[in-house]
Amino acid sequence: MKQIKSYQHKKILVLGLAKSGVSAASLLHKLGAFVTVNDMRPLSENPEAQGLLEQGIKVVCGSHPVELLDDGFELIVKNPGIPYHNPMIVKALENDIPIITEVELAYQISEAPFIGITGTNGKTTTTTLVFEMLDEGNKKPLIAGNIGTVASGVAQEADDSNTIVIELSSFQLMGISSFKPKIAIITNLYDAHLDYHGTKDEYIMAKANIAKNQDGEDYLIVNADQEEVMAIARSSRARIIPFSTKKVLESGACLKDGWVCFNGQQIVRTSEIAQNIHLENVLSAIAASILSGVDTAAIVSVLKTFTGVKHRLQYVAEIKGRKFFNDSKATNILAAQNSLAAFNSPVILLAGGLDRGNGFDELIPSLKGVKVLITFGETADKIGQAGKQAGINTILRVDNVEKAVPEAYKHSEPGDVILLSPACASWDQYKTFEVRGDMFIEAVHKLK
């Protein structure tokens, strides 16, 4: 960890706790700052704030009082989830108080270079793939951000022999000033988090921040199949490495004659890749790993054995020739479309959940390879109707995920994929998508 002096004796407000706020407050305290923490939860119900109080850090809990800004803070470290229309943030901006997120702080103290991954879909899988490839290649990676450990905690332990592989949200990237990854990946860009950003353009601008400080010594790996992503690439000073699942590229990562290729070199046959990985994620991860010096054998080993991230196209088990995959994180139509696109085998799809008032016509083209559709939850009938329009002959409605699993098995044959990819949020029946996924996993293991 770099022992930087820039925060010594500075008055800094850490706004919002959770893991990132706790880590940032403790780190700034170590670096000699005069830290105040402000969190919405009352102190009596806030063990994190109590722990910081014991370290000698000033704590204000129970609300976000705007008048707190009259204390003369020189910097705010904001929890990424707090929107910029929060009254505290609005006043801070009016008073020209700089606002950063904890990722910026991590970068400033880190002795290790960063590989940063952002985008709408595939961030977590790509981050995990890059980490595992670097690990298999003995590159001593550390994983951080939205997946793994808080970035400023990881950065304190890293040295220049490590590489920090970090998943980054648009919320985090809005709060950077000098953050400069050696390698950056933008997986794709679709409409998301518009309640936070207001418009898609604002969302894309936030994502583009991952590359804003890069220069000719850095790499920006971009999805050549998306104009929004390529527009960011065109304004970047980094070395651009494109990837495409749709066209053959002379340089970068692409598909050709049944192979994944990088700069024209064959890396792995697509038929050898674990069936649960979307090829966009494969291409961008291979590019980042090769640029990091990982050899082909290590990359291929990971791609053949990758079981997925829990609840994100996670391979669960094989029972008498049927493979079960848990994609409970697919809480919208686009995510379900991407999941279905990952499989060539016949699919028995388990789908349904919270009814947000939308239809499922967009899902119909992706249902063409589904042999049996099993629905549940508030949207069961709507998804069933989409299945009929897609020409699926066997459509069944059940009460919940737990009952869907044995029903799917009953209608399956060896070689089938049984896939939970709900295309809906879980809140009509389950507290979180993780709980829904765990119920699926438990039901699969009961079949054994």
Using one digit for the tens of pLDDT, what is the confidence trace for 19-53?
899 999 999 999 999 999 999 999 999 999 999 99
Query: Which one, of 166, 173, 177, 181, lies nearest residue 207 by Cα?
Result: 173
> How much is the average pLDDT of 377-393?
97
pLDDT value for 192: 61
How far out from the chain centre does Cα 300 lie?
23
SS3 percent helix, strand, coil of the chain, rounded to 5, is: 40, 20, 40
113-136 tens-digit pLDDT: 999 999 988 898 899 999 999 999
Number of structural domains (the chain) is: 3
Contacting residues for 173 by C-beta, under 8 A, at least 6 apart = 103, 118, 179, 206, 207, 209, 210
Query: Which one, of 369, 352, 325, 345, lies nearest residue 430 by Cα?
Result: 352
Residue 5 lies in a domain: no
* Structural domain ending residue among the three candidates 100, 118, 143: 100
> How much is the average pLDDT of 366-381?
96
Residue 231 lies in a domain: yes
* Domain CATH for 360: 3.90.190.20
Order of strands across the sheet that contains 11-15: 58-61, 34-39, 11-15, 75-78, 99-100
Residue 3 lies in a domain: no
Which residue is associated with the tokens 């997946």? Answer: 147
Taking a C-beta distance cutoff of 8 angstroms, is the pair 247, 255 a contact? no
**Is residue 445 over pLDDT 90?**
yes
* Structural domain ending residue among the three candidates 69, 100, 131: 100
Let me know whether 181 and 224 are in one domain. Answer: yes
Q: Classify burial at 230, counting beta carbons within 10 Å of its beta carbon; exposed 0-12, middle 13-18, buried 19 or more.
A: middle
Let me know whether 94 and 108 are in one domain. Answer: no
**Is residue 334 over pLDDT 90?**
no
> How much is the average pLDDT of 212-241?
98
pLDDT value for 159: 97
**Is residue 158 over pLDDT 90?**
yes
Residue 140 lies in a domain: yes
H/E segment holding residue 247: none
pLDDT over 90 percentage in the chain: 87
Contacting residues for 419 by C-beta, under 8 A, at least 6 apart = 324, 325, 327, 339, 340, 343, 347, 348, 349, 350
Q: What whole-number distance in Å separates Cα of residue 224 and Cα of residue 422?
A: 29
* Domain CATH for 16: 3.40.50.720
AA identity, residue 329: K
* Domain CATH for 126: 3.40.1190.10
**Is residue 193 over pLDDT 70?**
no
Residue 284 lies in a domain: yes
**Is residue 280 over pLDDT 90?**
yes
Residue 1 lies in a domain: no
Let me know whether 117 and 66 are in one domain. Answer: no
16-20, 63-67, 145-149, 441-445, range with the lowest pLDDT: 145-149
pLDDT value for 197: 67
Let me know whether 171 and 280 are in one domain. Answer: yes
Mean pLDDT of the chain: 94
Range of the domain at 116: 104-305
> How much is the average pLDDT of 254-271?
97
* Structural domain ending residue among the three candidates 81, 100, 119: 100
Which residue is associated with the tokens 């991230």? Answer: 309
Let me know whether 133 and 249 are in one domain. Answer: yes
* Tokens, residue 340: 């279905």
Let me know whether 84 and 187 are in one domain. Answer: no
Let me know whether 118 and 243 are in one domain. Answer: yes
* Tokens, residue 4: 């930087």
Let me know whether 388 and 418 are in one domain. Answer: yes
Query: 441 pLDDT band (50/70/90 cuts)?
Result: very high
Let me know whether 154 and 301 are in one domain. Answer: yes
Let me know whether 164 and 290 are in one domain. Answer: yes
**CA distance to 189, 238, 366, per residue, from 341 (Å):** 17, 31, 7
Residue 300 lies in a domain: yes
Q: Which long-range contacts (CB under 8 A, 24 or more apart) does 24-29 make?
A: 24/77, 24/102, 24/105, 24/152, 25/52, 25/57, 25/77, 26/52, 26/55, 26/57, 27/105, 27/109, 27/152, 27/156, 28/77, 28/105, 29/55, 29/56, 29/57
Let me know whether 358 and 301 are in one domain. Answer: no
Let me know whether 151 and 166 are in one domain. Answer: yes
Residue 2 lies in a domain: no
AA identity, residue 84: Y
427-438 tens-digit pLDDT: 999 999 999 999
